[in-house]
Amino acid sequence: MANEMISRQLKALSDPTRLHIVEFLARECCGKASVLEDGGVIGATAGEVCCHVTGAEQITSTVSHHLHELAASGLIEMTRQGKAMVCTVNLNALQNLAGYFGEMAKGECSEGCCC
Amino acid sequence: MANEMISRQLKALSDPTRLHIVEFLARECCGKASVLEDGGVIGATAGEVCCHVTGAEQITSTVSHHLHELAASGLIEMTRQGKAMVCTVNLNALQNLAGYFGEMAKGECSEGCCC
DNA sequence: AAATCATTTCGTTCGCCATCGAAATGATTA
DNA sequence: TAATCATTTCGATGGCGAACGAAATGATTT
């Protein structure tokens, strides 16, 4: 396998709920994902993510599981902020995926090719 | 869900064997994926794909299943050429995935955002 | 038509994982 | 410390899908 990390991230994104979470953090969460000057992080809490994705008022064990799966694959980051967990998307990981598919889309031979 | 097609393709690529197949067709199959002037297609046969991915001498039912899953999601195309099925990767689909992640990697608000 | 080659369909088995509710943990506030 | 809030862990259930072997289909050659 070319890239273990890529494979794991694609597996994480193969679940519609998890894909939805990443899209929410990246595109529908304006001003809520940034690093403060004191090193702190401001972003959507796990509960807010859950609310948006499932409509539940507080985080469910299922969404908690999905968030940790996404964090384990490197697609998001979670840090504790008081009693809440704050989630931010890892834009570098998304850019890396974009590059992976962009390279393949060229359809050019790699070093493993016969030519 | 933003894009049904994207979700289905990511699900297809979440299996390591299928990811391997796509990588093979895109990067390690030089000169074997092109459209001839008579409209015919030249590419790797299902058996060749299977040989490369699993080492089996002829196609297995498992790889056949994976190929059809990839075709159903639009990531590859299969056409019959005599008694063999010829497989070609859909570079447009890969480019589309690259664009999808590239857009998200910008971290900008979409129309669904609160702002 | 018969034989052969390439692939697919069928039916089964098995393991992984999404989901759920309830109990436990971590952190803050009163 | 007690109470409350946010999240996680635990344990169980159910369903999807990857893998496999055998039989069936499609296409070519003799």
CATH number belonging to domain B4-93? 1.10.10.10
Q: Give the per-residue pLDDT at B90.
A: 95
- Determine, for residues A101 and B94 on separate chains, whether the beta-carbon distance falls below 8 Å: yes
Q: Which residues of B touch A91 (CB under 8 A)?
A: 105-107
pLDDT of residue A41: 64
Q: Say what the pTM is.
A: 0.91
User: Closest Cα to residue B91, out of B14, B4, B33?
Assistant: B33
Alpha carbons A101 and B23: distance in angstroms, whole number: 10
Q: At the top level of CATH, which class does the domain A4-99 belong to?
A: mainly alpha
Please tell me whether any atom of strand D lies within 7 Å of the Cβ of A51.
no
- Show the low-confidence residues of chain B (pLDDT under 50): none
CA distances from B9 to B5, B6, B104, B109 (A): 6, 5, 17, 24
Q: Are A74 and A91 in contact (CB under 8 A)?
A: no
- The answer, yes or no, to whether residue A15 has pLDDT greater than 70, is yes
Do A10 and B13 make contact, defined as CB atoms within 8 angstroms? yes
Tell if A68 CB is < 7 Å from nucleic strand D: yes
